Structure 1
Amino acid sequence: MENSDKGKKNKPEMSEMTFRNYLFLISFAICLFVALLNINYLVGYLGIFMNIITPVLIGLGISFVLNIPMSFIERHFLTFMEKFKNKKNKDLSKTKRVIAITITFVLMLGIIAAIITFIVPQVSESVNTLIDKLPGYIDSFNTLVDQGLAFFGLPAALWNDLTIQWDELWGQFGGLVINSVPEIFNVTKSVTTGIVNIVMGIVISIYLLADKEKLLALKDKLIYAYIRKDRADFIQDVSITANQVFHGFIAGQLTEAFILGTLCTIGLAILQIPYALLIGVLVGMTSVIPVFGAFLGAVPSGFILLVVNPFYCLIFVIYIVVLQQIETNVIYPRVVGSSVGLSGLWVLIGMIIGGSLFGILGTILGIPTFAVIYAVFRKITNERIIKKTMSDID
Structure 2
Amino acid sequence: MKSKFQFWTFQILMIVLIIFICTKMSFLFTPIVVFISTIFLPIIVAGFLYFLFSPVVGFLQKIKIPKVLAILLLYIVFIGIITLIVNLVGPLLVSQITELINSIPKNIDKIQSYMNHLSHTKWFKWTINQDYVPLDKAKDWAMNASPGSSNTVTNSLQNIFGMVTNVALTIVTVPFILFYMLKDGNRLPKATMRFFPASYREEGLTIMEEMNKTLAVYIQGQMLVALFVAVVTSIGYFIIGLKYALLLGVLVGITNIIPYLGPFIGVTPAVIIGLLDSPFKAVLVIVVVVIVQQLDGHLISPLVIGKRLDTHPLTIIVLLLVAGKLAGPIGMILAIPTYAVAKTVILHLARLIKLQRRYKKLNHEPIE
User: Is structure 2 residue 255 aligned with structure 1 residue 269?
Assistant: no
Does the Cα contact within 8 Å between 1:66 and 1:104 map onto a contact in 2?
no
Structure 1 residues 382 and 310, CA gap change in structure 2 (3 angstroms): same
Q: Distance in 2 between matches of 1:137 and 1:57?
A: 38
Equivalent runs, 1:1-394 vs 2, <5 Å = 33=17, 35-42=19-26, 44-53=27-36, 57-81=40-64, 96-134=66-104, 136=106, 154=121, 173-175=145-147, 178-183=150-155, 184-185=157-158, 187-189=160-162, 191-192=164-165, 194-220=167-193, 222-223=194-195, 227-379=196-348
Does the Cα contact within 8 Å between 2:309 and 2:340 map onto a contact in 1?
yes
Structure 1 residues 172 and 332, CA gap change in structure 2 (3 angstroms): same
1:339 counterpart SS class: coil
Q: Which stretch of structure 1 is more off in the superposition, 239-248 or 178-187?
A: 178-187
- Deviations 1:255-299 (CA, angstroms, capped at 9, x unpaired): 111110111001111222222112101111111212221211101
Q: Distance in 2 between matches of 1:374 and 1:214?
A: 23
- Deviations 1:330-349 (CA, angstroms, capped at 9, x unpaired): 12111222331212123223
Q: Distance in 2 between matches of 1:362 and 1:40?
A: 27
1:300 counterpart SS class: helix
Q: Distance in 1 between matches of 2:142 and 2:177?
A: 45
Does the Cα contact within 8 Å between 1:283 and 1:298 map onto a contact in 2?
yes
1:211 counterpart SS class: helix
Structure 1 residues 59 and 208, CA gap change in structure 2 (3 angstroms): farther
Larger Rg: 1
Q: How many residues align?
A: 346
1:274 counterpart SS class: coil
- Deviations 1:44-69 (CA, angstroms, capped at 9, x unpaired): 53341243345654454344333334
Structure 1 residues 235 and 58, CA gap change in structure 2 (3 angstroms): farther
TM-score, length basis structure 2 = 0.76
Structure 1 residues 134 and 61, CA gap change in structure 2 (3 angstroms): closer
Structure 1 residues 376 and 255, CA gap change in structure 2 (3 angstroms): same
Does the Cα contact within 8 Å between 1:56 and 1:201 map onto a contact in 2?
no
Q: Please give the root-mean-square deviation of Cα atoms over the aligned residues, in Å.
A: 4.1
Does the Cα contact within 8 Å between 2:225 and 2:300 map onto a contact in 1?
yes
Does the Cα contact within 8 Å between 2:233 and 2:249 map onto a contact in 1?
yes
- Deviations 1:199-219 (CA, angstroms, capped at 9, x unpaired): 224323212322223444422
Query: By how many angstroms is 1:156 displaced?
Result: 11
* Equivalent AA in structure 1 for residue 302 of structure 2: P
Unaligned stretches of 5+ residues in structure 2: 1-6, 129-134
Identical columns (%): 22
TM-score, length basis structure 1 = 0.71
* Equivalent AA in structure 2 for residue 174 of structure 1: S
2:32 counterpart SS class: helix
Q: Distance in 1 between matches of 2:45 and 2:108?
A: 43
* Equivalent AA in structure 2 for residue 179 of structure 1: N
